[in-house]
Chains A and B, each alone.
Chain A
């Protein structure tokens, strides 16, 4: 009888040892640091970038008004499959909320920041299907506003052997703001996030 119960008891005990799935408290996360880039790293990098950009005064338009800004190419030069929108979505949102700029969805280095519907409706306008629409509601030609500034950048990863047991992983977040008319760079910032941990952990 007892022998029959042993597998059942073992199963119950082992199941009880499994950690429970929990939602992360993203506001006051008490979690330990990880070797890979996690959402906290993107939050910190975005926060520092936005504050630096606002403080620089580069987005203050001479004569008032708001700059039209496009997101340029953000290169992921890390060993991880990073979607650069994890960084840029926060930055774009904050810049728009600051009332200093308007972002454009017409052009951009990343397909996610472009809205293909802008060109779909124009294709409709120029096709036979246009007859199905009220012509006054179709977008006229020459209405799109070209961007004046572009934000581009790069995320770089460097792995360094620290000692026999530890490795050091350095992440560099680099962004720059360029005037598209003159090609001049108005602002640039680099934010470094460094992590040191066991060599056994694979940082990708």
Chain B
């Protein structure tokens, strides 16, 4: 009897799962929009979410690119990924350093707010306020309050 019940449960879990075609590159289909699959459906979703929260999945930075634009100002593009299922709001501050490693004081180096949707990539962009900037450092923090 138990075997039949378990088998039914497995069938119920698997039955809504179709053969999802891989999404178009660059297109992110969030839960509730895309079709369910084996790892993410009405039965497994709460477990997967709970596990993600339990292990503390959050923001990860994957790449920080800099380039000098045509006007001679250093531009920064930080790319990351939100591993959490929830939208993560946070603050970041970019500070610019000159050739000798000295901090360039600027009104643009303030705590700025940004947000990354769950299980999605995000990008932060910043432009140096002076042409003397050759390097940067970036800090992050939770939004106060």
Residues of A within 8 A of B (CB): 28-33, 40, 43-44, 46-48, 50-51, 54-55, 57, 60, 90-91, 93-94, 97-100
Contact = CB atoms under 8 A, between A and B. Distances in A.
Nearest to B108: A47
B25 interface: no
Residue of A30, A40, A51, A90 with most chain B CB atoms under a 10 A cut-off? A51
A98 B69 CA distance: 14
Interface residues on B, range: 20 to 34
Given A54-B127, A99-B130, A44 B112 contact: yes
A48 B112 CA distance: 9
Contact of A94 (B111, B113, B129): B129
A54 B129 CA distance: 7
B73 interface: yes
B70 to A, nearest CB: 7
Contact of A29 (B69, B107, B129, B144): B144
Contact of B111 (A40, A50, A91): A40
The 3 closest A-B CB pairs, nearest first, are A32-B145, A51-B127, A90-B107
A99 B145 CA distance: 38
Contacts of B71: 54, 57, 60, 100
Nearest to B139: A28
Interface in B74-129: 75, 106-113, 126-127, 129
A189 to B, nearest CB: 13
A86 B99 CA distance: 31
A94 B73 contact: no
B112 A97 contact: no
B106 A94 contact: yes
B131 interface: yes
A95 to B, nearest CB: 9
B107 A93 contact: yes
A199 to B, nearest CB: 19
29 contacts: A29-B144, A30-B144, A31-B145, A32-B144, A33-B144, A33-B145, A40-B111, A43-B110, A44-B110, A44-B111, A44-B112, A44-B113, A47-B107, A47-B109, A48-B112, A50-B107, A51-B108, A54-B71, A54-B129, A55-B69, A55-B73, A55-B127, A57-B70, A57-B71, A90-B107, A91-B107, A94-B106, A97-B106, A99-B130
A94 B107 contact: yes
A108 B118 CA distance: 47
Contacts of A60: 70-71
Contact of B126 (A51, A57, A97): A51
B107 A46 contact: yes
A54 B112 contact: no
Nearest to B110: A43
A54 B75 CA distance: 10
A51 B71 CA distance: 13
